[in-house]
Structure formats: structure tokens, C-alpha cells
Structure 1
């Protein structure tokens, strides 16, 4: 029986970070440029480097080394770890869903996220979610500017790690924004959308999600949704 690669978005899907992630961008911008950020940009469903690139463009800034940007984003989030622990939380049902799907013998769980790897790992470890995920085969914001390209990144890593290919029918992405849905569809994955963030169920359906859940609270419904898109997966019990 073939394996299923299940790729989770982090912010708005597995955790609520209390808007700490959004606050990191202007802080990093100021440290990198010596200027205050006067313009705000949409962050949901985007990679961290892509958000910073737009901030730089809107302020007429160019030539900042990507390695400096990544390091500063990681530094600013790390400095707010205590605050993140206080105001952030795993979303209801996230732990239960990860545990239940981890019990499926043929499921490989990882992440597809706009977070840089360092920031993704900090959040997942802080809220006790990393233990359920094979983070070595995940795809992160530093791997590609566009989220759709991250699907292939995760597939290549998973194929190398598990010795088998993961095709469109063997890859499911779970996210909470229309951009997550579009990334999955463009990247060639099946998509389950969760209306746990700012996007409505209707907007997620319109974006092309294969299935839409109101939340992760109903563990059985989450497992059924995954199994419906990947009928070859069965319970280890």
C-alpha cells in the first residue's frame, strides 16, 4: 500500500500565534534598514521572504542580502518567544488530529509553510507539535518564494527519505487560506481547507479546496476527510 504525504500549514491551521508573526516583519525591517515600516502588507498564505520583499519594494529599499533577512526574521521571533508562549496556542483539535493521523500506518506527516525553517521549528516545538511531524521532509519559506513550488520541494525530500515517489493522489495539503489552497492545486496536491483563520468556508471552497472543514475539533471528521482524498490509507488499528 502506498504512503500518503500529508503536509500541514502552521499559522492559522495548527496554531494561533497571537499575531506575533505579523509583528516580526516591521521589527526586522527596521533593524535591516534603520527605518520604520510605514506600509503594511498582507502576510496570510505567503512565505516570509516574499513578505519582506514586498516591504522593501514598497519602501524603495533594495540590495538587502536574503541571508541577512532570514537571520533577522529568526532573531526577532526568537526574542519574542516568551510572549509567543503567552499569547499563542495550538488550535483546538490540532494535537488530536496530528496524533490520530500519525497512527495511520502509511501517513507521513510534515509541514508546508511560509515560515522559515528556524521559525517553523520554534513554533512547533514551543507548542508541542513537532513530535508528530517528520520535519526533515517539510518545505519552508526559505526553500522558494512561491508556496506552490514548496509542494515539489516536500515531495523530493520525502521521496529521498522514504524511497518512493509521492504523486498528486499521494499528497494532501491542509491549510487555512485561499493562498494555501491555490498553492496545493498549482503544486499538484489534493487540498483540505480549514476555516479556522480569517478565511470563510465559502472563500476556501471558491479557491478550489477538495474538502473544507470548519475546524480541527472533530478528529474523526479530519481523519475521514484525509481518507476520502486518499482511500488507500487505512488505520493502523
Structure 2
């Protein structure tokens, strides 16, 4: 994994992706582009701070040498964005723009952290689902050598400025797991660090030419397998 760029590096999953890559010996360089500096640091990190997200695609195409792989865990919430229209600009439009820029720059592999349950008959109509579906379909249409779509369930972990509901859901699901078992808990939600390791492991597999398909969809059970059961740091 010579050069792997990360977007969303200051978020819950993305920050774990970054720290995981910095600890992986096979990854030589890790460029990031973000509005603020990532908390994780390391000799391999090349952090580019750009407050204006409309400049990120140009920053990506200017990376030299171009990344072999891009991992995007970029996303926000409706509340943080200030409404569904602003959330769409980040979760959908910016992710699509970055995927297009990556393809134009010659990036071979693109890994996107999406979400489970978006393609159901009813759920697919929801704005959040349409954002994720739109990004997934755009990545597929771009025809990367390898594309990986991770679809985690509830993402567990401590977020910056987490609200009462988020903390309650984390506590509730952890308690549920203690009662009914880890497997049942894993089917509903996965820890952010497990999702991050699954993304890195999947990226490593694609770079080694061992991906099961050109467009590889990694559902919850495989996230747990890649990010915990089979993970070798």
C-alpha cells in the first residue's frame, strides 16, 4: 500500500482509518485533505488543510505521486450541516466529485464507507439513502480497477460533540450484546475501529489483486471478519 489518501480523516471512522494506515508498515505515505488538522500525527502523514471543500478535488489531482488508493469516510449529519440540502453537498456531491477527481488522476482503487439498509423498498426513498446510493452508483460507473463499498450498520464509538441520543444508542447496543451475544450485536452495529480496519484490510486486498470482484460490496458480517477476525496489524 504505497500511497493511500484519506478523506473524512477528522470524523469517527475516518480518524480510525488514518491511525490504522499510519501504523501499517506496508503503507508508505498517507495524504489527507481536510478542513482542520487531524488529531493523529505520524511521519507518513501528509496533511493538507483546506477550509474550502470546493478546492479538495483540485488538491487531490495535484498530489504527486498520485495515490494508489483513496479511502473516503467523508460524511456529516443533517444537524451538523444545518439541513438536508447542506448535508447532500457533503455526503453526496463532494464524495462524487472526489471520486471523479481520483479517477481522472489515475487512482486505481477507491474505497467508500457507505451505510447498510439504504436499498430497501421503502428506505431507498429516504434522502439519506439516496445520498449513499448516488455515491455508490457513481463510483461503480467510474470504472476504477477496484472499488470497495463498505456498508456498516450503526457506527459505534465516541464522537466529538456526541448527543444524548448517540450516547444512549451506544450504551443500549453494548448492553444488548452482553445479553444476546456478540454476534447479534455485530449484525446491528460495528465499532468505528473495526470498520476502519476493515476498510484498510479491503484496500490491502485490492492492492494485492485478491479482491473477489471489481466492484466489491462489504456488508456487516464481512466488516467484522475483515476488521476483527482476520485483522493482522
**TM-score of the superposition, structure 2-length normalised?**
0.44
Q: Which has the higher strand share?
A: 2
